[in-house]
Amino acid sequence: MTDIWSVAGRTFRSRLIVGTGKYKDFEQNAAAVAASGAEIVTVAVRRVNVSDPTAPMLTDYIDPKKVTYLPNTAGCFNADDAIRTLRLAREAGGWDLVKLEVLGEAKTLYPNMRETLDATEVLAKEGFLPMVYCVDDPIAAKQLEDAGAVAIMPLGAPIGSGLGIQNRVTIRLIVEGASVPVLVDAGVGTASDAAVAMELGCDGVLMNTAIAEAKDPVRMARAMKLAVEAGRDAYLAGRMGQRRYADPSSPLAGLI
Amino acid sequence: MGCSAKGKARRFYVISVILNGEPRQVREGSIADLVASLGLDAKKVAVERNRAIVPRSTLADVALAEGDALEIVHFVGGGC
């Protein structure tokens, strides 16, 4: 049974998107991506080191022809910087599918939603297909969708915190209200967190630190792959109702 | 501005630009020339000149000018 999902007309099998930051080296990063089964990786756009142009590059280890590079505006704190970064990313990579995040402050890395909305509008007008990092607020999610977001990416918890999905109610409300894919972006710490996101009906999960900072990143990447698949299956299967008290699984009739 | 090599044949001028935030003396020429002289693969980078994107297809057509602010970027590892 094939379970696929689409964003802006592009179809993927894997519902796990992984970052490419914080790894020990490119080899470990590439091995983790392979173990995760991810078909999309997020990448950052940064200045070339002009004093050492022969330094190894990410593209030497993770082939952009095989894995979709999703340029990300991590580190941008206003709409202008984010837009400028993605214009460069489009020129460097040649594709329009991008991930927008406009941060509000360094301490929490919470998004600045006013700037995020402004940037989404500009990018959509310029032909970009922005997947947008946002607060877990169903109203903000609708506003982003109206502004041209092709995917809504609410945080489960602060970026890099590993605290797991803090508000299942708002994530579920966003999923129910959205007509574009919803992917939890940030906050996942371990496999069960990814499963929770998928059980809430999300179309996918994006993570980086949970894999990169695990003691064995490649093994955690595999765990995340399985967790995303398990959570998705559980969502599709439809979970049992919850009861306040016990209900025996064995028949009461015929007891000796 | 700039200096020419001595002798009959002028060889090249050197101009001052800001490259990735740092002042730098470079040979006059196109942006493609600069990218190549830095040892970079033009297919893997994107260039911004004075805050405007320079499409890769036109890198060889755009001449550097004194005082240009250039950004040459590429993809690096990054997360959420």
What is the dihedral sign for C-alpha A12, A17, A19, A20?
negative
**Would the pLDDT of B6 be above 60?**
no
Given a contact cutoff of 8 angstroms between Cβ atoms, the answer to whether B28 and B14 are in contact is yes
A138-147 vs A113-125: helix crossing angle, rounded to 10: 20
Pick the residue of A22, A26, A88, A163 with the most B CBs within 10 A to test the interface with B by mutation: A88
Q: Which of B20, B53, B79 sits opposite A91 (nearest CB)?
A: B53
Backbone angles phi, psi at A6, to 5 degrees: -130, 145
Q: Do B40 and A101 touch (CB under 8 A)?
A: no
Q: Which of B39, B75, B79 sits opposite A69 (nearest CB)?
A: B75
Average pLDDT, chain B: 86
- Residue bearing tokens 């099998």: A13
pLDDT, average across residues A33-46: 95
**What pLDDT band is residue B36 in, cutting at 50, 70 and 90?**
very high
User: By mean pLDDT, which of A41-55, A85-99, A127-141, A162-176 is the weakest?
Assistant: A41-55
pLDDT of residue B5: 47
pLDDT of residue A115: 97
Given a contact cutoff of 8 angstroms between Cβ atoms, the answer to whether A48 and B45 are in contact is yes
Question: pTM here?
Answer: 0.89
Q: Do A93 and B73 touch (CB under 8 A)?
A: no
pLDDT of residue B53: 95
Q: Is B74 on the interface with A (CB under 8 A)?
A: yes
Given a contact cutoff of 8 angstroms between Cβ atoms, the answer to whether A37 and A225 are in contact is yes
Q: Write out pLDDT tens, residues A224-251.
A: 999 999 999 999 999 999 999 999 999 9
User: By mean pLDDT, which of A27-36, B6-15, B35-44, B68-77 is the weakest?
Assistant: B6-15
Backbone angles phi, psi at B52, to 5 degrees: -115, 135
Surface-to-core class of residue A50, CB atoms within 10 Å of its CB (0-12 exposed, 13-18 middle, 19+ buried): middle
**Would the pLDDT of B59 be above 50?**
yes
What span, in angstroms and rounded, lies between the C-alpha atoms of B49 and A187?
A: 37
Given a contact cutoff of 8 angstroms between Cβ atoms, the answer to whether A229 and A191 are in contact is no
What ipTM goes with this model? Answer: 0.84
Q: What angle do CA A14, A30, A68 make, to 5 degrees?
A: 45
Average pLDDT, chain A: 94
Q: What is the separation of C-alpha A120 from the centre of its chain, rounded to a whole number of angstroms?
A: 17
pLDDT of residue A1: 62
Q: Is B45 on the interface with A (CB under 8 A)?
A: yes
Helices (H) and strands (E) in chain B, counts: 1, 5
User: Is A99 labeled as catalytic in the residue annotation?
Assistant: yes
Given a contact cutoff of 8 angstroms between Cβ atoms, the answer to whether A71 and A41 are in contact is no
Which residues of chain B neighbour A42 with C-beta distances below 8 Å? 78-80
Selection from B17, B51, B12, B52 nearest residue B35 by Cα: B17
Nearest CA in chain B to A131: B80
pLDDT, average across residues A186-194: 96
**Would the pLDDT of B3 be above 90?**
no
Q: What angle do CA A209, A9, A116 make, to 5 degrees?
A: 50
Q: Do A92 and B19 touch (CB under 8 A)?
A: no
Q: Write out pLDDT tens, residues A75-106.
A: 999 999 999 999 999 998 888 999 999 999 99
pLDDT of residue A119: 97
Which residues of chain B neighbour A208 with C-beta distances below 8 Å? 79-80
